[in-house]
């Protein structure tokens, strides 16, 4: 291992550790607010009558909805993040079954990978943390999986900034 690595043994040990499950109902009001926030007029998210007549038979979720809204599961942080600045590097979603309003989803998350890279002078050292989340419905079926890459970074060394409360990771 590189001596200068910011990935400690403690951090490595956190890879693959599944979070406690979180259980959330998929609320139609939350779906509507999310669709409104995107500016997505799809009647499958807004119009119960239309949705009832569709092949789904009910209001469904926009594809990226559950990534944030339904999920409260997060791997328990057993380590202190080395950097205070962070942003979302990317998201991937995989869908197996439609997720409908009223479904009760059980989600679990785990860190599946961590790696580092040297960025430019404004960025400094960067830490990439890949987190995978699995969503199961009330029948125990896996309905979706998501993967998010959280990037935290050192930042320019000369500037003092107040630390963020937590380096936020992607969904």
Partner 1 sequence: MAQQLYWEDVGVGSEVTPLVKIPTTRMLVQFAGASGDFNPLHYDDVFAKNQGPGRTIVHGALKAAWLGQMLNEWVGEEGFLKRYGCQYRSQDMPRRMRTQTEPEQEGETCTCKGVVTKKYIEDGEHRLDCDIWVENSSGQKTTPGTASVVLPSRG
* Residues 74, 109: Cα–Cα separation, whole Å: 5
Residues 106-165 that bind partner 1 (CB under 8 A): 122-123, 147, 149, 155, 159, 161-162, 164
Contacts of residue 171, Cβ cutoff 8 Å, sequence gap at least 6: 67, 68, 71, 88, 91, 131, 133, 146, 148
Q: Least distance (Å) from partner 1 to the CB of residue 163?
A: 11
Q: Least distance (Å) from partner 1 to the CB of residue 25?
A: 15
Alpha helix (H) ranges present in 18-132? Answer: 28-38, 43-46, 48-53, 65-68
The answer to whether residue 22 forms part of the interface with partner 1 (CB under 8 A) is no
Stretch that binds partner 1, among 1-9, 13-21, 83-91, 132-140 (CB under 8 A): 83-91
The answer to whether residue 34 forms part of the interface with partner 1 (CB under 8 A) is yes
Tokens linked to 115: 């790696």
Q: Are 100 and 26 in contact (CB under 8 A)?
A: yes
21 or 43: CB nearest partner 1: 43
Question: How do the residues of the chain divide into helix, strand and coil, expressed in percent and rounded to 5?
Answer: 20, 35, 50
Residues at the site binding partner 1, with contacts judged by CB under 8 A: 30, 33-34, 36-40, 42-44, 54-55, 62-65, 67-69, 85, 87-95, 122-123, 147, 149, 155, 159, 161-162, 164, 168, 170-171
């Amino acid at each position: 291992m590189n001596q200068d690595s910011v990935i400690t043994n403690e951090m490595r040990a956190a890879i693959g550790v599944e979070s406690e499950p979180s259980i959330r109902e998929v609320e139609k009001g939350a779906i509507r607010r999310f669709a409104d926030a995107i500016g997505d007029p799809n009647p499958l998210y807004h119009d119960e009558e239309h949705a009832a007549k569709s092949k789904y038979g009910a209001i469904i979720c926009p594809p990226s909805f559950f990534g944030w809204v339904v999920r409260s599961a997060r791997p328990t942080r057993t380590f202190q993040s080395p950097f205070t600045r962070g942003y979302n590097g990317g998201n991937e979603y995989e869908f197996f079954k439609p997720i409908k309003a009223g479904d009760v989803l059980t989600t679990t998350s785990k860190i599946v990978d961590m790696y580092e890279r040297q960025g430019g002078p404004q960025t400094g050292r960067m830490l990439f943390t890949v987190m995978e989340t699995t969503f199961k419905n009330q029948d125990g079926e896996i309905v979706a999986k998501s993967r998010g890459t959280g990037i935290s970074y050192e930042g320019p060394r000369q500037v003092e900034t107040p630390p963020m409360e937590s380096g936020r990771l992607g969904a």
